[in-house]
Structure 1
Amino acid sequence: MKRILNTNEFLHGGDYNPEQWWDEPDVINQDFALFKQAKINTVTVGIFSWAKLEPEEGKYDFSWLDEIFDRVEEMNGHVVLATPSGARPAWLAQKYPEVLRTDNLGNKRGFGGRHNHCLTSPIYREKVREINTKLAEHFGQRKSLVLWHISNEYSGECYCELCKNAFREWLKNKYGNLDNLNHAWWNTFWSHTYNDWSQVNPPSPLSEMGNKGMNLDWKRFITDQTISFIDNETAPLKKITPNIPVTTNVMAGNPLMDPFAGFDYQKVSKHLDFISWDSYPAWGNDNQTTAELGRNVGLIHDFFRSLKHQNFLVMENTPSRVNWHSVDRAKRPGMHELASLQDIAHGSQGVLYFQLRASRGSSEMFHGAVIEHRHPEQTRAFKDVTKVGKDLEKIRPIVDTNYAKARVAIVFSYDSYWALQDAESYSKDKKIWQTIQKHYRYFYDHDIPVDFVSPEDDFSEYTLLIDPMHFLMSKAYIEKIDSYVKNGGQIVGTYISGVVDENDLAYMNEWPKELQDIYGIEPLETDVLYPGQANTIIFKGKEYKTHDYCETLINCTGKVLAKYTSDFYQDTPAIVEHEDGLGKGYYLACRTDYDLLEKFYEEIASDLIPELPICKSSSKVSIQVRENGNTQYWFVQNFSDKEAKIKLDKELLDLIGGKKDKGEVVLKPFESKVYGVE
């Protein structure tokens, strides 16, 4: 396999800001002594360090960072060097106020916070490029430099005149003329027709928030503007250090563990060498079991890994607590090792933390850290980190493996997600991501690898596509899945799919012909249920509840697998199977609990369960596989606070325990085993 990082070990370390302690050398000396003790081999430096790197315009001071590089190289470690664009210095904001953002009410932001910069500002782009060039020239040949970490958690929007004009130019390039724009946005409604480009503004409470085409194009524009800013950031890095890969840290929401939706990560990922993400689940919360949360974290690992269909990196996580959670609870004993090895099991090439040493003051002083404010060697977090460091050394041979190849893929479209969330119909909380989590569950519980794909990806390698709530479908995508099924693929579609085209305009007269061919039905209307209401369907002789959405289907030419039991659509189809060429389409017309989905996927996907040399007795045990050619490693993890049993079909080497196991093995609560064949 091709390494995404030029290292022969897993990265273990994280964000380090020694500039906070530069006048206290004893603190930094203590840090490096503790790094050695905790098996820390990587530091990420330079994040938010612009004021230290360039204290005055054009005057650079890299000497302090040189010392850190020297010390890391003395311990044969690795440096991830960040560009500082996520937080500009005060002198820059004062001299060039255009670099600061304007909110959607027209208010110019003052200096402060993070990510308070205009993505369009030519001056800010110039200043970012200048300092990135200096950093690449100065540090690019250091032997410890393994990775560029550009900015930090890109996010946000700006509504200044520069951004408004850029949006208008983007629209001109897309539509060519106002007639095309007016048609795409259906501007005859409410007399919104434009006759001059200057009349077009971004969506705002000050003007227009209800135009669906405008809202969708604004999200697309923000995506492209972010990509343009990223390309500006990376250009000097790629020119001066072409062999050093570039990444940035993407985000997931909490507690839902859904991907950040401010812009399209699937498109942004094409401009990065690989994906990193910041993992902050609420371990030990009071509304999920550890097994439930672990499954959702596994899903988001799979989503981010799939952005480039290769291994990734957990750029940030916490060894203990998260100061911005609603309840700042620390991980329970055993959970940090469990979570860290789950990272690796799903394809991460390391476990990095925010932060290595806790800040003494300011906004993140109480965020969990490897080195806490008092008695750092004695904290449970430090001991847990040390244990993970030792684990990563023991499983070092796995660094040159990939996550197992998937035959199942879930389709996710940012365009469709945005459009459906914006739709003033169905219900306020459409639970799109929760629906994806429900469909994912069968495969996770049965240790079946899953990828995520965008509508632009190649589907030919997958046996089964799952395509839930795909509200916005372009004609090109519809033709693509029709071809996929006719050539032997299987697809599962659901309610609220194929409703609008790429401009968020409704498909008229009939459902697109290709979708009729795939699924053998046409959805006619959607009955939206209140939270306390339900219908039922009969599937395989058993009754199952439906919630939220029940579509009525007409023109059914497929095999009816389930019917509704009541209401005006009683005895009409609820689940349909239909042959299309060499493949099949399955349509689920209603939202159900997991018990129905489990039975449904048991019928159509049980043959995808992989043959493993390990048999588990509980779905709370996860088995994930990393492989390289014929060499495989099995991560067996107990996401329960109770013991669990597994049975090995043959003798396997426990890499962490350093012994061979065979037959029945008892996993302690939250225990992980990593097995290989000696």
Structure 2
Amino acid sequence: MMSKHEKYYTTKANFMLHGGDYNPDQWLDRPDILADDMELMKLSHTNTFSVGIFAWSALEPEEGVYAFEWLDDIFENIYKNGGRVILATPSGARPAWLSHKYPEVLRVNASRVKQLHGARHNHCFTSKVYREKTQSINTLLAERYGNHPALLMWHISNEYGGDCHCEQCQHAFRDWLKSKYNNDLKSLNDAWWGPFWSHTFNDWSQIESPSPIGESAVHGLNLDWRRFVTDQTISFFENEVVPLKEMTPNIPITTNFMADTFDLIPFQGLDYSKFAKHLDVISWDAYPAWHNDWESTADLAMKVGFINDLYRSLKQKPFLLMESTPSSVNWHEVNKAKRPGMHLLSSMQMIAHGSDSILYFQWRKSRGSSEKFHGAVVDHDNSTENRVFKEVAKVGQTLEKLSNIVGSNRSSDVAILYDWDSNWAINDAQGFGVKTKRYPQTLQQHYRTFWEKNIPVDVITKEQDFSEYKLLLVPMLYLVSEETISRLKTFVANGGTLVMTYISGIVNEHDLTYLGGWHKDLQEIFGIRPLETDTLYPSDNNYVTYRNQSYELKDYATVLENHSAIIEGHYKEDFYADTPAVTSHTYEQGNAYYIGARLDDQFHHDFYQELIKDLSIEPVHPVKHGKGVSVQARHDEKNDYLFLMNFTEERQPVTFEKSVRDMITGEKIKGDLILEKYEARIVAKSKMN
């Protein structure tokens, strides 16, 4: 197994990828535009282009009639230009002839209404016809371009998501359930708590996917449907890549993951922890709402860091930023442009957290339809003189000086556990507060202190190894199987430090509550037993006293019965006043902390600061700076690469205790420097010194 300090190359390239989605199929009647593109690519210092993502109708305008000549030219021209191609399979959007001739490929929504042709991702993942058609076109692409020297990697479809409720999918779901429950309906009825509302099934054919016109309150059914949708999406993906793996085994494969843009939380529709196992490289599409009016720039940057650390941690190696915007998007409620300097800063944050690319949607703005005002490298003016083009070129020039960083990784003593199953289950739970569960946001709240203190964090999933971390955080782990509980127990027993919070360990993997109270192993680990969870109105106030300080409590408070734990904090008010709110407990060689209430940021800062000190957890580099500056690092066997980023609107002083070398200017730095508004500096420190 490779050390985290060794190089992990995500593609054949030993340079930072810079470029993005290129749609020459929109401009086939404008050879002058296509000629301009080649020159503009050089001037913008871009080198890599994702091609063919929505080009099916241009590649196969009629069934069995193919037109590859234009793509041949694009490959050749990009290669002669010194660039590389990420070739996409076109399944994300079908040609109209396919939908018209084979209507079974169209999705049926949860209300059992068949969808019309249009938009994108409007296809059934189960459809045998669609699987055959996608595999056929992919085979032709692999045959024609698999050995082309410009081909860098495969981009499979685009932003997989959504579900289909057609009869084909119903049959597939029932088959999936038969496999999961060993063809035993009693096991399924037990897992779904069938007697509730007389929902016991006595034949597999009676089972339907969740629907607003049918069943939506059987939580075990809802959870299994979401798991099925992930598995069926992966099955469709695996069908797509069969010819690519057979004919181009050395070309890496990816597909672009997503995040919710408004809250900037992980995409909720698919379990990426499962999907990641089928990819050679993780890539994702990042569109933060910079300069919004509901949070500070630094607050948003923290959330971006969390998503980056999650997607990097899925494979514990560098990832790719597959899509971003150099300016604004076109689907936010307010589509605000990036302010001067923000594009370089936000790009460097991606590199700092493990990306080996800065790629955009889109290279050139579309002339018509829904994305004609979405940000792009090349605007409608076709000019190199506008601000956005110049900022893109500056990013490209910067990346050209960062080739040594390609393949380097990050290392961490701290991990936070993120779980898609648990998030689905708690959102489905008809209890607690409808608007205040906020599982991903709660994890980000716990992540904040470490981000502010420049302490790297791996955001891991329940299948990953816990043993290499000093500190493991599992906030709001509502759904937790006995297998995961056992692994947490082993982690603490072997000397790890575990932090758990309110609304954790409530249900098993079937979303069935643990009878007899909290699971006995959790009681053993933590030395307590949660008795009940009080859910507060927004107007309610309570406080917790911890280390002689008072911290505000909002939303949730767990009433605890103490068995053998040390009481670190007490509730101040209400019927549970003076009872335990925060506890610690030694279990074998390790320690377990339980935080019973949702507390403010100051509490997390003070609480985690003590653990950081006790566990000798160090920041990436001894750097002094003001609030809103982030210092992140990547490492290889020879160097530490430090990124100093000012996510504030003011100049910020930074002080180095040790000498470093600026990777862009080459100058040596020791002592004080000033980061301008939105400025990023990248420095290297040799491990040999």
Pair 1:464–1:532, CA change in 2 (3 A): same
Root mean square deviation of aligned Cα: 1.1
Once the two structures are superposed, residues 149-171 of structure 1 have per-residue CA deviations (whole angstroms, 9 ceiling, x without a partner) of 00000000000000011111111
Cα deviation, residue 561, structure 1: 0.2
In the alignment, which of 100, 108, 120 is matched to residue 106 of structure 2? 100
Normalising to structure 1: TM-score of the pair? 0.99
Partner of 2:12: 6
Partner of 1:91: 97
Pair 1:647–1:134, CA change in 2 (3 A): same
Partner of 2:71: 65
Q: Is residue 583 from structure 1 mapped to residue 621 from structure 2 by the alignment? A: no
| Letter aligned with residue 75 of structure 1 | N
Cα deviation, residue 376, structure 1: 2.4
Normalising to structure 2: TM-score of the pair? 0.97
In the alignment, which of 214, 219, 222 is matched to residue 207 of structure 1? 214
Partner of 2:442: 435
Identity %: 51
Cα deviation, residue 611, structure 1: 5.4
Partner of 2:665: 657
Alignment of 1:360-509 (within 5 A): 360-402=367-409, 404-429=410-435, 430-509=437-516
In the aligned structure 2, how far is the partner of 1:494 from the partner of 1:408? 17
Which SS does the other structure have where 2:498 is aligned? strand
In the aligned structure 2, how far is the partner of 1:475 from the partner of 1:393? 49
Contact 2:54 2:90 survives alignment (8 Å): yes
Cα deviation, residue 19, structure 1: 1.2
In the aligned structure 1, how far is the partner of 2:111 from the partner of 2:309? 38
In the aligned structure 2, how far is the partner of 1:375 from the partner of 1:144? 25
In the aligned structure 2, how far is the partner of 1:71 from the partner of 1:110? 37
Alignment of 1:23-172 (within 5 A): 23-172=29-178
Alignment of 1:521-532 (within 5 A): 521-532=528-539
Which SS does the other structure have where 2:241 is aligned? helix
Cα deviation, residue 489, structure 1: 0.6
Pair 1:212–1:400, CA change in 2 (3 A): closer
Alignment of 1:305-384 (within 5 A): 305-384=312-391
Cα deviation, residue 307, structure 1: 1.2
Q: Is residue 636 from structure 1 mapped to residue 636 from structure 2 by the alignment? A: no
Cα deviation, residue 192, structure 1: 1.1
| Letter aligned with residue 666 of structure 1 | I
In the alignment, which of 277, 286, 290 is matched to residue 293 of structure 2? 286
In the aligned structure 1, how far is the partner of 2:402 from the partner of 2:20? 19
Q: Is residue 192 from structure 1 mapped to residue 221 from structure 2 by the alignment? A: no
| Letter aligned with residue 675 of structure 1 | V
In the aligned structure 2, how far is the partner of 1:650 from the partner of 1:178? 66
Which SS does the other structure have where 1:187 is aligned? coil
Cα deviation, residue 274, structure 1: 1.1
Once the two structures are superposed, residues 471-499 of structure 1 have per-residue CA deviations (whole angstroms, 9 ceiling, x without a partner) of 11101111110011001011000000111
In the alignment, which of 219, 222, 235 is matched to residue 226 of structure 2? 219
Which SS does the other structure have where 1:376 is aligned? coil
In the aligned structure 2, how far is the partner of 1:229 from the partner of 1:238? 15
In the aligned structure 1, how far is the partner of 2:566 from the partner of 2:37? 66
| Letter aligned with residue 99 of structure 1 | V
In the aligned structure 2, how far is the partner of 1:155 from the partner of 1:336? 28
> What stretches of structure 1 move > 6 A for 4+ residues in a row?
none
Partner of 1:625: 633
In the aligned structure 1, how far is the partner of 2:65 from the partner of 2:412? 51
Q: Is residue 257 from structure 1 mapped to residue 264 from structure 2 by the alignment? A: yes
Which SS does the other structure have where 1:651 is aligned? strand
In the aligned structure 1, how far is the partner of 2:500 from the partner of 2:562? 17
Contact 2:318 2:407 survives alignment (8 Å): no
Pair 1:400–1:419, CA change in 2 (3 A): closer
Contact 1:10 1:399 survives alignment (8 Å): yes
Which SS does the other structure have where 1:537 is aligned? strand
Cα deviation, residue 2, structure 1: 3.4
Contact 2:454 2:620 survives alignment (8 Å): no
Cα deviation, residue 609, structure 1: 4.2
Which SS does the other structure have where 2:356 is aligned? strand
In the aligned structure 2, how far is the partner of 1:473 from the partner of 1:650? 45
| Letter aligned with residue 665 of structure 2 | G
Contact 2:630 2:645 survives alignment (8 Å): yes
Gaps of 5+ in 2: 1-6
Which SS does the other structure have where 1:377 is aligned? coil
In the alignment, which of 544, 549, 553 is matched to residue 542 of structure 1? 549
Cα deviation, residue 614, structure 1: 4.4
Once the two structures are superposed, residues 656-675 of structure 1 have per-residue CA deviations (whole angstroms, 9 ceiling, x without a partner) of 23322222111111111110
Q: Greater RCO between the two (CA within 8 Å, min separation 6)?
A: 2
Contact 2:364 2:377 survives alignment (8 Å): yes
In the aligned structure 2, how far is the partner of 1:413 from the partner of 1:326? 29
Partner of 1:671: 679
Cα deviation, residue 406, structure 1: 1.0
Contact 2:506 2:513 survives alignment (8 Å): yes
Partner of 1:517: 524
Once the two structures are superposed, residues 292-346 of structure 1 have per-residue CA deviations (whole angstroms, 9 ceiling, x without a partner) of 1111111111111111111000000000001011101100110000000111110
Once the two structures are superposed, residues 361-385 of structure 1 have per-residue CA deviations (whole angstroms, 9 ceiling, x without a partner) of 0111100000000152122110110
Contact 1:338 1:672 survives alignment (8 Å): yes
Contact 1:446 1:609 survives alignment (8 Å): no
Cα deviation, residue 630, structure 1: 3.5
In the aligned structure 2, how far is the partner of 1:419 from the partner of 1:2? 35
Which SS does the other structure have where 2:273 is aligned? helix
Contact 1:644 1:666 survives alignment (8 Å): yes
Contact 2:612 2:618 survives alignment (8 Å): no
Partner of 2:280: 273
Partner of 2:310: 303
Contact 1:471 1:496 survives alignment (8 Å): yes
Which SS does the other structure have where 1:325 is aligned? coil
Paired residues, number: 677
Deviates more, 1:460-469 or 1:650-659: 650-659
In the aligned structure 2, how far is the partner of 1:481 from the partner of 1:319? 42
In the alignment, which of 616, 619, 633 is matched to residue 624 of structure 2? 616
Contact 2:8 2:408 survives alignment (8 Å): no
Contact 1:16 1:357 survives alignment (8 Å): yes
| Letter aligned with residue 582 of structure 1 | Q
Once the two structures are superposed, residues 72-92 of structure 1 have per-residue CA deviations (whole angstroms, 9 ceiling, x without a partner) of 111221100000000011111
Pair 1:504–1:400, CA change in 2 (3 A): closer
In the aligned structure 2, how far is the partner of 1:173 from the partner of 1:210? 23
Contact 1:649 1:662 survives alignment (8 Å): yes
Cα deviation, residue 174, structure 1: 1.0
In the aligned structure 2, how far is the partner of 1:109 from the partner of 1:543? 55
Partner of 1:177: 184
In the aligned structure 1, how far is the partner of 2:272 from the partner of 2:14? 28
In the aligned structure 1, how far is the partner of 2:276 from the partner of 2:621? 35
